[in-house]
Amino acid sequence: MTDKVILVADDDRAIRTVLEQALGRSGYDVRTTDNASTLWRWVSEGEGDLVITDVVMPDGNGLDLLPQMRKARPELPILVMSAQNNMMTAIKAAERGAYEYLPKPFDLIELAGVVERALNTPKGVVESKENTDEEMPLIGRSAAMQEIYRLLARLMSTDLTVLISGESGTGKELVAKALHDYGKRKRGPFVAVNMAAIPRELIESELFGHEKGAFTGANNRGVGRFEQAESGTLFLDEIGDMPVEAQTRLLRVLQQGEYTTVGGRVPIRTDVRIVAATNRNLRQLVRQGLFREDLFYRLNVVPLRLPSLRDRAEDIADLARHFLSQAAEEGLPLKNLTSEAFNELSQYAWPGNVRELENLIRRLAALYAEDTIDVGVIRSELAEANATPHDIAGLDNESLGEAVERHLNKYFAAHSDGLPPDGLYDRILHEIERPLISITLESTRGNQIKAAGLLGLNRNTLRKKIRELDIPVIRSGK
């Protein structure tokens, strides 16, 4: 038995009963209420050793009450539970001093473990770091995303290095940006650099800067990304594509907190948080001798694995609605989807993950005249996206012009008697531009100088388009 008293506030009688019974079996004295005012009275009078509170109650909001309780009883651990299973709820709970955030429904065994840890943790003041930004950088209420939100909330008050892994299109940069925007360094810069999009010979200069005359063409001193990110966050995307020579220099920065520019001799102290991301298996690259083992462990302080979209199919409808609203805010026509269309989306495997879904929704908003998209349109779009070589065997001799003509005939036919929205010329060019650049890069094995020459583009223009179109660059052997 224990003499610890737990205060529970939730307007759901079933939740109160379950918690009272479960925690009572563990020997705790449990007191329950269905409103915020009674909870505040208990806390202000010095009662209770731990609080478990819901967010939405008839007479108030548990999150709004958190700072008040923290000020009155800074040593009191507070657990927040909520059916509003989104990232902002988890972040607000952490910012306002909650010991832990528990999305409903939660596992009672897990709850018992959290309660025990909270009651045995040395008491200390948790600093409240209020952030009123309501933007939702990540979307999803699935169990997989709830774990991501909880981990992010715990990381907001730290400066730990984070290694984000996941398939292409799962939202790794969004997670990195959220770590920055809601963390200790939110007033500093967020600088993102894609290792795969930088020519191998320029990576060290890009990261660390260079002195005038350091190499041919270095007519002025160049500022590197570490210097740009000072006091903020440096996001190293596609870290698995970093050349071994640059890996050695990055390791030295992580070990010593300083670097030298290319051609420089004086060490420069740096104060940045490193967040790295990869869609590759770094452990396998280590075994193959392509990635330094010591650097891997320096980066893998907090591993964070993002789920694929097919592993959180219950989030697809929310994501689709979000992208429809986003497209409308950007000036495209507001569209709706039928329930059958949403169901069709949830059955698809989404090899391109969230990015593929976003691209589809934008295409629907831009190219179709109907206000409500039905299941037939979705099936047609997904069938075309998922076409196999066997499906298109009859098109082997088709010219580019014929392919575009076929696509346009299908497109205009889909609008029946109406006409598609204005701006068709730019939309069609945009559709062609991405595969043109992507396939050219594949053909040159990721060599951007050769690709720029083939395309007849300036190299800087090509790099800009790679970033704008989010084209992965994969280098292979010579």
Beta-bridge partners for 53 = 9, 80
Least confident of 8-17, 82-91, 358-367: 82-91
Least confident of 166-180, 187-201, 271-285, 405-419: 405-419
Which CATH number is 311-396 given? 1.10.8.60
DSSP one-letter code for 262 = B
157-190 burial, b at 16+ Cβ within 10 Å, e below that, comes to eeeeebbbbbbebbbbbbbbbbbbbbbbbbebeb
Write down the CATH superfamily of domain 5-134. Response regulator (3.40.50.2300)
334-349 pLDDT, tens digit per residue, is: 899 999 999 999 999 9
DSSP one-letter code for 334 = P
pLDDT of residue 410: 67
How is the chain split into domains, by residue range?
5-134, 157-305, 311-396
Split at pLDDT 50, 70, 90, the class of 177 is very high
Higher pLDDT, 242 or 410: 242
Minimal CA–CA distance to 14: which of 89, 116, 104, 86? 104
DSSP sequence for 11-46: S-HHHHHHHHHHHHHTT-EEEEESSHHHHHHHHHTT
Q: Which two tokens mark 104?
A: 């409903």
Which CATH number is 157-305 given? 3.40.50.300
Whether 146 and 307 have beta carbons less than 8 Å apart is answered as no
* pLDDT, averaged across the chain: 86
Decide if 157-305 and 311-396 have a common fold. Answer: no
DSSP sequence for 214-259: SSTT--S-B--HHHHTTTSEEEEETGGGS-HHHHHHHHHHHHHSEE
Give this prediction's pTM: 0.64
Spatial separation of the C-alpha atoms in residues 428 and 317, rounded to whole Å: 27
